[in-house]
Amino acid sequence: MPAAPAALQARLDDLGTPPKEFAHRQDHVTPEGDQGGRYGDARIPLVDVEFVVLDLETTGGSPTNDRITEVGAVKVRGGEVLGSFHTLVDPEIPIPPIITALTGITGRMVAGAEPIQVVLPCLLEFLGGAVLVAHNAPFDRRFLQANLERHGYRRLANRVVCTARLARKLLPRDEVPNVRLATLAAHLGASVTPCHRALTDARATVDVLHALLERAGSYGVLALEDLLEFPTARAGASFKKVHLADRLPRCPGVYLFRDTAGRVLYVGKAKDLRARVRSYFSGDGRAKVADLLRELAAVDHLPCASELEAGVREIRLIQHHRPRYNRRGRNPERYAYLKLTRERFPRLSVVRKVLPDGARYLGPFHSGGQAELVKAAIEDALPLRRCTARIGAKGGGSPCALLELRRCLGPCTGGVAPEVYAALVGRLEAALDGDPAALLAPLRQRMAGYAAEQRYEQAAAARDRLEALTRALAEARRTGALAGADEVVLAVPHPAGREVTVVRRGQLAAVAVLDGDDHAGVERLLAVAGDCQPFDGPPPRHLADEIGLVVRWLEATAGKAELLGVRGRLASLAAGGTVLQVRYDPGRHRHAWPPGEARGRPELRPARRARPRPTPRMARPGRHAATVFDGFSGSPAWR
């Protein structure tokens, strides 16, 4: 395994933990939509959880058109029955004969019963904040929600457990042929036989639930949070390791998966550490994740003050540990650069490192192929030499096809004065430092010429080179503007005050959450901020990912960030800025904003004119009697 760069090793702790006065103040983060009644924090032992097992009998299968005829519910906790709820309900619509044959409930039985609007308040009081359990829970839950909305109640926010899904997870198909309630009750030895009546079926479901929970314990399902996630878990036997996430906080940070020998298997970042780590056991079915969980023995974590800090720490830790299961960011050696060589007649060369040799570099590029594409684009725009032979004072080389095609000045023949070639190189450097029109305009002309001649393959190749060069020049400007500043101090709003971020030479130096008026805290944060690695030219390979992340974060927060201070120069060239916004991706719809056009507030889309309704024509004799329109048909078959 390649060793981490010495500069990186020295910087691993530079994003230092601020002193205690800068402790990361994070409000308790609850996953979006997590409203589980009294069980908002789901890490509760199952023995302490209150369940209400519900069963509804209805006039049919549609919550919109059918109605509830009977409600049965049983409240349990710790294996003991705490109470029950049962009533017939007047559906106020006829009960179909097939439903009567199935359930035994007739219209005469419900004629004197209360309607659902009277039953709902009593049922909701009985349910309270308990966890709702049902066999085929989506059916009962949809009917209950539909009736709540129909009569002006808020939607049910209780957590839901489906015993049918739980049984399918725990019981293999060769053990039980199906997960019907009657089948499970007989297989698991329930004391009650279900008979399509609400209270009887609810009692049978209680026995099934207790039997399933006993089996689930062997998989590590010991808390409510485990039970809620287990039916969707794809980790199989590895789910019992989910307890490794129990001590993780609900805040931004970095997590490290380790094996039994303590080696780091995977490094990741998260907005919510606990929820993200648990998601590996319940929502990711990739074979790679299953292999990772089989080797997992421990989970380390590092809380962070912000998502930016978590992202930077993730990058640094990946480069340091080189985990086997990380792909992105593990090998910074993949980056490539374009080098304008220091020769009598300079040329472009694809290299892997930036050396302190005084040469001009462009990059970094994510791969050598991207660097070659940009190299080809520049050589299409300017007739630089492409041969690698050393050229003496008298030349002496033989002319090549590029010279005949006027794609190269041909310095190898000795027919070009060094001053003429130097002027060509000067045009390239001027385009890299200032207005890039000298590089982009010839490529656009070539692309347009190919398209006009209907040489679309050549036009597409020219477009790809133009896009690659445009992106490279724009990225160089974005990175260079931030990396050129010795120090930038920014503050963005935070629920606990403001999040203060210190960036030095494009690298994250410190971050903390402070009170809005704590100016002395900002000074103390600057004093403890880490030193960052200086460099000239484009970022070195091991800094490329980090600086790119900081640049993207800065662009995303530019509208709400407050600039507290700048040391050095923070500026970007205006020349050619509009040109570099244009993209020539292979897709159809590409947008460019002409100079001076406002981009802040979107304009209203013009109202779409109503299309005239087509006049129906009578069906021809011998065809299906369907109304046929000009362009579409009301029948399944197109005319």
Q: For 569-600, what is each residue's pLDDT tens digit? A: 877 665 555 556 544 444 433 343 333 333 33
**Last residue within a domain, chosen from 521, 543, 568:** 568
- Strand stretches in 497-588, DSSP E: 497-504, 507-514, 562-568
- The span from the CA of 363 to the CA of 68, in Å, is 67
Q: Does a structural domain hold residue 133?
A: yes
Q: Rounded to the nearest 10 degrees, what angle do helices 273-282 and 287-295 cross at?
A: 110
Same domain? For 457 and 531 the reply is no
Same domain? For 441 and 508 the reply is no
Per the structure, the count of domains in the chain is 3
338 and 363 in contact (C-beta within 8 Å)? Answer: yes
Residue 94 has what DSSP assignment?
Answer: P
C-alpha pair distances (Å), 83 with each of 41, 52, 76, 86, 352: 25, 9, 7, 10, 73
Same domain? For 493 and 460 the reply is no
Same domain? For 74 and 157 the reply is yes
Half-sphere exposure of 316 (CA within 13 A, CB side): 23
Q: Does a structural domain hold residue 83?
A: yes
Q: Which residues are catalytic?
A: 196
Q: Does a structural domain hold residue 201?
A: yes
Q: Does a structural domain hold residue 322?
A: no
The helix/strand/coil state of 194 is coil
Same domain? For 375 and 492 the reply is no
What residues in the chain have per-residue pLDDT under 50?
A: 1-11, 16-37, 582-608, 614-639
Tell me whether strands 336-340 and 264-270 are parallel, antiparallel or unpaired.
unpaired
Helices and strands (DSSP H and E) totals, the chain: 19, 15
DSSP characters over 387-433 = --S--BTTB-PPP-HHHHTTSS--GGGT-S-HHHHHHHHHHHHHHHH
For residue 87, give the H/E element and its range. strand 80-88
Which one-letter amino acid corresponds to residue 51?
F
Give me the domain span that covers residue 455: 334-479
Q: Does a structural domain hold residue 620?
A: no
**β-sheet bridge partners, residue 489:** 502, 565
Tokens of 382: 């300017």
Q: What pLDDT does 620 receive?
A: 38
**Last residue within a domain, chosen from 224, 253, 281:** 224
254 and 269 in contact (C-beta within 8 Å)? Answer: yes
- The CATH number covering residue 169 comes to 3.30.420.10
Same domain? For 447 and 509 the reply is no
Q: Does a structural domain hold residue 628?
A: no
Q: What pLDDT does 607 receive?
A: 47
Q: Does a structural domain hold residue 548?
A: yes
Same domain? For 497 and 516 the reply is yes
Q: Does a structural domain hold residue 455?
A: yes
pLDDT tens for 16-45 read: 444 443 444 443 333 333 444 455 555 688
Same domain? For 459 and 558 the reply is no
Same domain? For 455 and 423 the reply is yes
Same domain? For 52 and 201 the reply is yes
| Cα–Cα nearest to 346, from 380, 390, 377, 376 | 390
The helix/strand/coil state of 469 is helix
Q: What pLDDT does 498 receive?
A: 92
Residue 230 has what DSSP assignment?
Answer: G
- The span from the CA of 277 to the CA of 369, in Å, is 35
Residue 625 CB neighbour total at 10 angstroms: 7
pTM of the entire predicted model: 0.69
363: CB partners within 8 A, 6+ apart = 335, 336, 337, 338, 354, 371, 472, 476, 538
Q: What pLDDT does 581 receive?
A: 56
Same domain? For 362 and 451 the reply is yes
- The span from the CA of 309 to the CA of 316, in Å, is 11
**Last residue within a domain, chosen from 195, 224, 253:** 224
Same domain? For 360 and 211 the reply is no
3-class secondary structure for 96-119? CHHHHHHHCCCHHHHCCCCEHHHH
